[in-house]
Amino acid sequence: QVQLVESGGGLVQAGGSLRLSCAASGRTFTRYGMGWFRQTPGKEREFVASIAWTGGITNYADSVKGRFTISRDIAKNTVYLEMNSLAPEDTAVYYCAAAWLGRATMSKSSYSYWGQGTQVTVSS
């Protein structure tokens, strides 16, 4: 069982930066690949970024490549999403998720555990 709690969302101007955190509980956290997804009202939850359980592989959605960076701190049981050059179209609720032995998968269905989400709003 893994519990995930996101934090770090908020209101930022276009061009600004935010760092999201996802704190995980559970002794087997090191065996979970982690992902970030986002969702806006009326739309499907979409993939943003993921990192393999080994930490050696990452994947990004084309829309965030070069602007967002996913990382994990095993000692702190925490995954981060560093977001730079934010644009209004990045406005969404951001969710972190965990996939057992995940290898940076981009598919929602591969993730078994989800956080409650954190709102990110980018003003123009």
Q: In whole angstroms, what is the distance from residue 39 CA to residue 70 CA? A: 18
Closest CA to 29 of 57, 51, 61, 58: 51
Q: In whole angstroms, what is the distance from residue 30 CA to residue 85 CA? A: 30
Each residue of 20-40: pLDDT tens digit? 999 999 877 889 999 999 999
Tell me which of 30 and 42 has the higher pLDDT: 42
Q: In whole angstroms, what is the distance from residue 27 CA to residue 13 CA? A: 38
Phi-psi region of 31 (alpha: psi -120 to 50; beta: other; left: phi over 0): alpha
Predicted local confidence at residue 1, as pLDDT: 83
Q: Which of 25-39, 71-85, 90-104 has the lowest mean pLDDT?
A: 25-39
